[in-house]
Amino acid sequence: MEQHLLQKSPIVRTASSLPVEDRYRVLIESITEYAVYLLDENGIVISWNPGAQKSMGYTADEIIGQHFSVFYRPTNRAAGSPEIALKTAVTEGRFEAEGWRVRKDGTEFWTHVVIDPVRSTDGAVVGFAKITRDLTERRSAEQALRSSEEQFRILVQSVTDYAIYMLDPKGFVSSWNLGAERIKGYKTDEILGEHFSRFYPEADRKAGAPEESLAIAAKEGRFEREAWRVRKDGTTFLAHVIIDAIRNDDGELIGFAKITRDVTERSKAQQALERTREQLFQAQKLEAIGQLTGGVAHDFNNLLMVIQSSLSMIRKRVSDDSKLVSLLDNASQAAARGATLTQRMLAFARRQDLDQQMVSIPDLVRGMTEMLERAIGPATAIITQFPLSLPDVVTDPNQLESVLLNLAVNARDAMPSGGSFVISARAEELDVFNDHKLNAGRYVRFSVKDEGLGMDAATLSRATEPFFTTKGVGKGTGLGLAMAQGFAEQSGGRLMIDSQPGAGTTVEIWIPAAMSSRLADDTPAPQTIVPGTNRQPLTILAVDDDALVLMNTVAMLEDLGHSVSQASSGLRALEVLRREPKLDLLITDHAMPGMTGVELIDLVRAERPHLPVILATGYAELPSGTQTNATRLAKPFFDDDLEKAMDLALRR
């Protein structure tokens, strides 16, 4: 039975049961990814494994007995590369290289080749063991990677608007592109190996800003901020900075990628845009207030005129009751303050009626000294500083006096414990590129400087806003500086304020200088008008669409002893004119429906070219360039103002 089983069972032999030589043969025959074969001492192929057939394309029958140089390119064979490989293996004990080889079908592939000499027991070379591996795919991948890396390197180096560079984990610069050189000023050999903290301002370095940025990038993966940085030459620029942490496949931090862009010009452009928007907002606000002020000023002035002129006429007729007189005086002062408030609003809105003329600022200030001293009290000293030679300015002297008085009161209020303020002026010449947003030309800088409490930045930014005041309720309208600003700009200049908390305030008004000096001494002086010198009764036509104003105007004229006809519109005024051939004077309002005062005057001139005319207007409401050749009378007006205008109109 046992003999039968032995005969029928297959014979199974394991690798360990094989002879040593057979074991190696089985091993070699099992390798398919490597060409493993033997050469004799002359380079003739004497063995061939499946890996060699797979790589080279030859079967064992086709290649055994041929010289291994068949695998080389013709140019390599001609150069003796096969012989050199064998010689190197003999002399150095090993030959290893990578290079192109040729398959049976003529295609080429990239190989890694190792040739070891095979020696006999006596040391003689009896052949060579050759191992070849096809690395074409790996080489293609490496070339693709190198190509990609080169493209990225070229890309990064070509970027000039961004500084793109690498830092090691401790923040030392390890790469540098052209953009970094352009923006920061360092060449590659100057900055490699240097710590990136040198780009930070000294204060930021001391505060640990560089280390903080790397710590945030390492922790969160990214750091981004805009801040000031320093170039090689010491100049600063506003930078937009991004720092990204770089980690290897194991998550280990190996460095940082840093991108910096110079955004200084962008920031300046943004600031300029914000300033433009703010200027537009201020212009729109100014226009809105101007329209509101202009809309109510006419009616408000009419009401004030009615009130104050009525009070003035009542004052002339009352008895010597001191209490009643005091009440009337109080009411008159309140009406006058209302008129001043309206004028300040018109000044802010650039709609006041300026009587511009050449003015000597030193003379104007000297003429106001007594009034200023009364206004500010004995605790405040006035100091004036004027050069010996100062050009005249072109402005409205009355409005300038009002501005100076207001600034003096502000200075007094800013120095509750007393002190001094300086009134000064000096000439300045501006070119077209000046920073003050003024036209080129010569200006006089008229300034008032106090030693008061000063203003912080928030208060200073609102100082010229209408109705903004830091004074207590009832102690200020908030229109003083707003009026001064409006007056300065309407005069062709500008208001500037410099103030620091605890360091006082300086207010400057830039006013255009006169193109020439004042009239020469031999020029006839203007004729002085003395109210009431012309007392003969006149026949006067008064025109106004406001019944209350018309009634008071007529009452004032009659109180002065004149005969008055009245009309409530331009058309009715023409009817009266044509009925009354002996009119001596026409007094007309301007803002009337249907026909304005200017239009009425033009028609009257056509019929009676020599008739004296007075045009009454509440503010600068006349169209630009209007020429009426009529005497102007500003509303609200009272009996003295009316008499002056009448005398001037009759003398023209």
> In whole numbers, what is the pLDDT of the chain averaged over residues?
80
pLDDT in tens, 395-434: 888 778 878 887 888 888 888 788 888 889 888 888 877 7
The average pLDDT across 441-468 equals 78
Confidence of residue 158 (pLDDT cuts 50, 70, 90): low
| Predicted local distance difference test score (pLDDT) of residue 474 | 44
At 628 the pLDDT is 65
According to DSSP H, which parts of 232-360 are helical? 264-317, 322-348
Q: How many residues does the chain have?
A: 652
Q: Is the pLDDT of residue 526 over 80?
A: no
Name the pairing type of β-strands 393-395 and 357-359: antiparallel
Task: State how beta strands 222-230 and 236-247 pair.
Answer: antiparallel
Cα gap 612→281, rounded to integer Å: 45
When pLDDT is cut at 50, 70 and 90, the band that residue 170 belongs to is very high
Which has more pLDDT, 338 or 72?
72
159 falls in which pLDDT band (50, 70, 90)? low
Identify the pLDDT of residue 519.
40
Write down the pLDDT at residue 343: 63
Residue 146: pLDDT band (50, 70, 90) is confident
> Residue with structure tokens 């208001």?
495
CA distance 246 to 218: 9
Burial class of residue 446 (count of CB atoms within 10 Å of its CB; 0-12, 13-18, 19+): buried
Most confident of 12-21, 185-194, 287-296, 312-321: 185-194
* β-strand pairing of 419-430 with 441-450: antiparallel
For β-strands 585-589 and 505-512, DSSP reports them as: unpaired
pLDDT band for position 523 (cuts 50, 70, 90):
very low
Percent of the chain at pLDDT exceeding 90: 27
Phi/psi region, residue 45 (left: phi>0; alpha: psi -120 to 50; beta: rest), is beta
Contact between 483 and 466 under an 8 Å Cβ cutoff? The reply is no
pLDDT at 338 over 90: no
CA 308 to chain centre: 50
Q: What are the structure tokens assigned to 129, written together?
A: 């063991």
Q: Is the pLDDT of residue 304 over 60?
A: yes
Asked if pLDDT for residue 513 goes beyond 50, the answer is: yes
Q: In terms of DSSP bridges, do strands 505-512 and 539-543 run parallel, antiparallel, or are they unpaired?
A: unpaired
Highest averaged pLDDT of the listed ranges 309-318, 320-329, 376-385, 481-490? 376-385
**SS3 assignment, position 232:** coil
The token duo for 447 is: 């300034």
Which SS3 state, helix, strand or coil, does residue 320 take?
coil
Q: Reply yes or no on whether the pLDDT at 188 is more than 60.
A: yes
Give the mean model confidence (pLDDT) for residues 25-38: 75
The region of weakest confidence among 236-240, 246-250, 615-619 is 615-619
Copy the structure tokens of residue 464.
Answer: 């010229």
Q: Is the dihedral of CA 207, 209, 215, 220 positive or negative?
A: positive
The answer to whether residue 78 scores a pLDDT higher than 90 is yes
Q: What are phi and psi of 613, to 5 degrees?
A: -135, 140
Which of 46-50, 295-299, 314-318, 645-649 shows the lowest per-residue confidence on average (mean pLDDT)?
Answer: 295-299
φ, ψ of residue 607 to 5 degrees: the values are -95, -35
pLDDT for residue 205: 92
Q: What is the pLDDT of residue 134?
A: 87
| Confidence grade of residue 273 (pLDDT, cut at 50, 70, 90) | confident
Pure H helices in 109-232: 136-158, 178-184, 188-191, 202-206, 209-220
Distances (CA, A) of 116 to 42, 49, 101: 14, 17, 18
- Degrees to nearest 5, angle at CA 109 with 106 and 113: 120
Q: For residue 172, is pLDDT > 90? A: yes
pLDDT at residue 224, as a whole number: 93
Per-residue pLDDT at 467 exceeds 70: no
In this structure, the strands spanning 631-634 and 539-543 are unpaired
Q: Sorting pLDDT into bands at 50, 70 and 90, what band is 522?
A: very low
What is the model's pLDDT at position 524? 42
What is residue 511's three-state secondary structure?
A: strand
Q: How many CB atoms lie within 10 A of CB 147?
A: 10
Per-residue pLDDT reduced to its tens digit, 543-573: 998 888 888 888 888 888 899 999 999 999 9
- Which segment of 279-288, 341-350, 469-478, 511-520 scores lowest on mean pLDDT? 469-478
The pLDDT score that the predictor gives to residue 12 is 44
Residue 396 tokens read as 């409205």
The answer on pLDDT for 530 being more than 60 is no
